[in-house]
Amino acid sequence: METYADLLDCIDFSLHSDTYSKDVRKTAEIGIELCELVRSELDPAQTAALDAAKRYWEGNGSEEERIRNVETIAERLDRSRTSVEDSERESTLDRLVFCALNTNTGLSVLAGEYLAELAEKLKLPAKDVGSVFSRRVPNFGMK
């Protein structure tokens, strides 16, 4: 997968059947892996939220800790909509971290495309993002 157009085609093909549309874990795990690709760019609040997401999905974190971090990132996202001081990149990182914490969204075409679009905004190579999807979605991109 060399381009984001190729990646989006694979997402559309691999997720069109809604096989994973109720699998909130897959969506979060893809979010976590994408966050790991940009971990060095995360600020302390984002890093803490990512670590809380990882613990939660590994079964070592509490719902209370997850919710606390969801609230922190959600407040940041709310502020970024009205602030000219927050960068678009910081807001995109917040959105990606939020995806790692999310327990409501299964892996549908729409969710997959959203994750890919966040990765593209962060200028992650399409090949690396495709590898994340390939690890998490059986037969990803197989036609």
Q: What is the dihedral of CA 98, 28, 67, 48, to 10 degrees?
A: -70
Asked if 122 and 38 count as a contact pair (C-beta separation under 8 A), the reply is yes
pLDDT tens digits, residue range 93-135?
Answer: 999 999 999 999 999 999 999 999 999 999 999 999 999 999 9
Residues near 91 by Cβ (< 8 Å), separated by ≥ 6?
77, 80
> Cα(142)–Cα(119) distance, rounded to whole angstroms?
22
Q: What is the CA radius of gyration of the chain?
A: 15
> Cα(133)–Cα(113) distance, rounded to whole angstroms?
11
Is 85's pLDDT higher than 80?
no
